[in-house]
Amino acid sequence: MSTLERSFGLLEYLAQRPEGANLAAVAKDLALPLSATHRLLTELTRCGYVRQQRDHGLYALTTKMAALGLSFLSKSGIVDIAQPLIDRVADVAGELARLALVDGDRLTFVAKAQGARFGLRYDPDTGIDVCLSCSAAGHGWLMTLSDEEAIAIVSRQGFGDPKDFGPNAPTTIKALTRILQADRKRGFSMISDMYAPGMASMGAPVQLPGEPAIGVLTLAGPMLRMTEERMLALGPELVATAKELATASTASPMFSRHALRTAA
């Protein structure tokens, strides 16, 4: 593994631990020698991406990485284009609406709007990569691909540990393929008790006719409110908004580059 790969792996590791981690824990969890881990942390600290807390000696990310991401999204025009549409569908549904973008084999949430006005609120972190095998966003993208392409992508990411997800999370290719077939017939994905216990979600691909999907628009909330009947009723609104977003996306230079890269 190269120094660059180790550095990015370390950054991704710390991104999941905002409270920080000590040198020994980082080295053990990443299976790196203590000396090499110390050199990487020292260099990343020098560059301003990592800081060492004085009180406990823990290493944690600074806001520099987050600032880079926010600056990129701001200049790409994605949030300006998408946010009004995300706000609207969140308000109509009264649930959490989110936009995830496709980038290679990855799907990452980049924008959201909370439409829930009372009761339970489902609001996971923006900026996380989507687990494709058991999420509405993942299924919303995979349903636009052939079974062969979808299986290949999920196989590279893996199904993950079943105990980290809901009881209905698929754990085999056969189960996932059966779900995607139903999603294609319906025109949008639907999950319940799958990504997280007690939660339900649905996703519609952001896709121009004849083009690869560039993202997925989702709605999510507690199963008590997001019943199968309600998700089916919300489906046309979600699909229509995703289509509007696909049309509006042509104004963003990032979307244009993505479409060209994917088509190539």
For residues 238 and 244, give the distance between their C-alpha atoms in angstroms, rounded to a whole number: 10
Assess whether the region 3-62 and the region 69-263 belong to the same CATH fold: no
Pick the CATH number of 69-263 from 3.30.450.40, 3.30.70.20, 3.40.50.300, 1.10.287.10: 3.30.450.40
| CATH number for the domain running over 3-62 | 1.10.10.10
Residue 260 has pLDDT above 50, yes or no: no
Which alpha helices (H) appear in the chain, and where do they start and end? 3-15, 23-29, 34-46, 64-76, 78-93, 136-142, 147-157, 173-186, 228-248, 253-263
Query: Looking at the chain, how many residues does it have?
Result: 264
8 Å CB contact between 48 and 15: no
pLDDT tens column, 112-135: 898 877 555 555 555 567 899 999
8 Å CB contact between 113 and 166: no
Locus of tokens 């190269």: 2
Locus of tokens 């946010």: 83
Q: What is the mean pLDDT of residues 129-152?
A: 95
8 Å CB contact between 225 and 199: no
**CA dist 71 to 15, 78, 227, 249, Å?**
18, 11, 38, 18
Crossing angle of helices 228-248 and 78-93, in 10° steps, is: 160
CB environment 54-73: b (16+ within 10 A), e (fewer):
eeeebbbbeeebeeeeeeeb
Task: Give residue limits of the domains in the chain.
Answer: 3-62, 69-263
Q: What is the pLDDT of residue 54?
A: 77
Of the segments 71-75, 107-111, 121-125, 243-247, which one has the largest average pLDDT value?
243-247
Enter the pTM of the model.
Answer: 0.73
Torsion angle of C-alpha atoms 180, 184, 185, 190, degrees rounded to 10: 60
CA 180, 151, 254 angle in degrees (round to 5)? 85
Q: What is the pLDDT of residue 203?
A: 98
Locus of tokens 């590791």: 13
Residue 175 has pLDDT above 80, yes or no: yes
Q: What is the Cα 204 distance to its own chain's centre?
A: 14
pLDDT tens column, 197-234: 999 999 999 999 999 999 999 999 999 999 999 999 99
Q: What is the Cα 95 distance to its own chain's centre?
A: 17
